[in-house]
Amino acid sequence: MFKPLFCLRMRERRLELSLTQKQAGELIGISQTRWSNLECGHRRPTNNEKKKLSALLGLGDCFVPPYSITRTLLSNGARLVECRKPYFSNQDRTTHTRYNACRRRVPILTAQLTSMVHSREDSDACRAISHRISCESWLEALYLLFLQASGAKSALIAPETLGRLHQPIVDDTGRRLTGLNPRPCFVLDGSFHFFQVSFYLSRVMRVDILRWDGSWSVIELDGRGHDPASDLERERELGLPVTRFRAQDVISLCQDLTRSRRAS
C-alpha cells in the first residue's frame, strides 16, 4: 500500500522493456522458472537478486512481503474463529494506486497516518494484507489507514462464522457462496471490518464495508461523486443498518486520531 508491490512492479517494468521472462532471466543469470515464481509472488527474492533486478528494471523502492505472511494471517484468524480457504475480492485498481490518490487529496494527513502504521511492530503484516484489500476509492484507502493507525489487528476471517446473515455473501460474479471463506478483516475494539463484500439479492450488490460488532451493519463511504438517489432502495433491499460517512467525516476521524496521538 505504501510502496509498489515488488512482484507487480517486476512484471510492469519487464513488459515496458518488451522482454520475455526467459530473456530477462538470462540478463541476470536466473532461469525462466525462477523469474516466473518471483514475478508471480510465489517466491521471495534474495538480496542479490533484488539488487540485480533493480539494476536491470529500475524498480525503485518496492515492498517485498515477509516470508509466510499468509500463514501468519491465517494463524491470527484461527485464534478467533474457524478458518477455511481464503477469498479475496477482485480489484479494479491496486490498493497502492488508491493510496497514491489518497496522498494527493490529503498529503499531510496521509503521511501522519502512514507514519503511525510504520511504527507498529507488525507493520509488514499490515502492508501485506493491505495489498489484498479491494478499495474502490481514495476515501476507502484513507479509512483503511485510519483503522490500521488506530491499532486494528489484521487477520483472515470468514464473516459467517461471526454471525448469521439472511443475505448470502457471494464472490464478485455472484456465482459462488463465500461467506464461510476467510477474507481480509480488521478487528478494532471488538468490531470486525470487511472491505468490499458482495451480496446476492435481486442482483449482486457490493457494500463498502461490512461490520460485525455483535450484530451486522454496513458502512458506506460517500465520495464527491456519490449519487444518493438509489440509497433508500439499496438499504431496503439489503436489510441491514447503514452508516454513511462523507469525505469530511472520515477526514475528521483521522484528524482526531492524529491529534490525540500527538497529545499523548
DSSP conformation letters of 11-53: HHHHHHTT--HHHHHHHHT--HHHHHHHHTTSSPPPHHHHHHH
Predicted pLDDT of residue 231: 87
Residue 44 shares a structural domain with residue 78: no
111 lies in which domain range?
A: 69-263
pLDDT at position 10 is 95
CATH code for the domain of 20: 1.10.260.40
Q: Residue 112 corresponds to which cell in the numbers above?
A: 501522519
Give pLDDT < 70 ranges for the chain: 81-83
Q: Are 5 and 62 in contact (CB under 8 A)?
A: yes
**Cα–Cα distances in Å, from 68 out to 64, 94, 125, 213?**
12, 22, 10, 29
CA 221 to CA 199: how far, in whole Å?
Answer: 17
> Do 130 and 23 share a domain, yes or no?
no
Whether residue 102 sits in one domain with residue 24: no
pLDDT of residue 175: 87
In this structure, are 73 and 51 located in the same domain?
no
Query: Could you give the number of structural domains in the chain?
Result: 2
Give yes or no: residues 43 and 73 share one domain: no
In a domain, 63, yes or no: no
- In a domain? residue 44: yes
- The answer to whether residue 64 is domain-embedded is no
**156 and 247 inside one domain:** yes
Burial of 156 (0-12, 13-18, 19+ CB in 10 A): buried
136 is a domain residue: yes
Residues 89 and 140 placed together within one structural domain of the fold:
yes
- Asked whether residue 1 is assigned to any structural domain, the reply reads no
Would you state the pLDDT for residue 81? Answer: 66
- Given 57, 77, 100, the domain boundary residue is 57
* pLDDT for 207: 95
In-domain check, residue 175: yes
In a domain, 228, yes or no: yes
16 and 140: one domain? Answer: no
The reported pLDDT for the residue numbered 209 is 96
Q: Are residues 136 and 221 in the same domain?
A: yes
Claim to verify: residue 49 and residue 108 sit in the same structural domain: no
Same domain, 30 and 151: no
In a domain, 62, yes or no: no
